[in-house]
Amino acid sequence: MANVQASKYLVPGLERGLQLLLTFGAQHRELSFAELHRLVAMPKATAYRIVQTLEYMGFLERNARTNTFSLGMNVLRLGFEYIASLDVAQVGQPVIEQLRDSSQCSSHLAIRDGHDLVYIARVSAAGSRINQVSIGTRLPVHRTSLGRMLLTDVSRAEFEQLFPDERLPGNAPGQVQEREALWQMVLQDRARGYVIGESFYRPGISSIVYPVFDRDGRVAAVVSIMVPFDEVPHSDRERLRNEVRFAADKISGFLGYLPKAG
């Protein structure tokens, strides 16, 4: 019902323009107008006007030799300026590289965007056989240990706005299904100050996650390492946990966070 209500306020022209931009990807880096029109569900005249508008605004770029279109610099600017404006990606990259070297585990930096966590920096461990995520990858915030740590910054009211139904979206086996159960986990994570997610999202892969705080004491991001075991080996658990904590504290310091005395 909520989606039907929200759809009343959509701007058709904007929706179609974004739909057209989304046709470009790894499989469609350059497209002719005929190919574009075939891939989008809209009248030819409408598609033509949208293409002309997007080209004029720099969101599409025409190759005069092949008469094909590709994404323009303004699309890249939107993404890169958003990431750069966070500062955390820039200051965090060398820190997670150091974390990778000291832990010998792939390291990541992620933020929350609504219902999703978004990876904004990553480095792979040498010889890692773990299928790595890419920068910009989105995952459901309630299905991952990184997402749980990001949720520790929200109030109960904000949490219920994110998840208005008692049943959580999706039904992946072995993962928490009820909103209240997730909230109780988030409260425990907040009190503990970190998460060790052992095969929480992906079987055979564990993670250690710590929050990064901004100058206002809000959770700006999370730092994590991926450990290629069902359980983090007890012989390494404390060492790895302290290395992730140190990395998170270092990035927090760069962002101007001053921990409270005592």
Amino acid at 14: L
Residue 246 has pLDDT above 90, yes or no: yes
> Among 98, 105, 99, 145, which residue's Cα sits nearest to residue 129?
105
pLDDT in tens, 182-211: 999 999 999 999 999 875 656 678 899 999
Burial 230-255 (b: 16+ CB within 10 A, else e): eebeeeeeeebbebbbbbbbbbbebb
User: Which domains are assigned to the chain?
Assistant: 10-77 (1.10.10.10), 86-254 (3.30.450.40)
The pLDDT tens digits of the residues spanning 12-32 come to: 888 888 888 888 875 678 889
Residue 1: band (very low, low, confident or very high) from pLDDT cuts 50, 70, 90: very low
Contact 150, 117 (CB under 8 A): yes
% of the chain exceeding 70 in pLDDT: 85
When pLDDT is cut at 50, 70 and 90, the band that residue 2 belongs to is: very low
Res 259: pLDDT: 80
Confidence check: pLDDT of 142 > 80: yes
Q: Calculate mean pLDDT across residues 32-43.
A: 89
**pLDDT exceeds 60 at position 235:** yes
pLDDT top residue among 149 and 253: 149
Which residues are CB-contacts of 98 (< 8 A; sequence separation ≥ 6)? 247
pLDDT attached to residue 134: 83
Count of positions (residues) in the chain: 262
**pLDDT per residue as tens digits for the range 47-61:** 999 999 999 998 899
Mean per-residue pLDDT, 87-107: 91
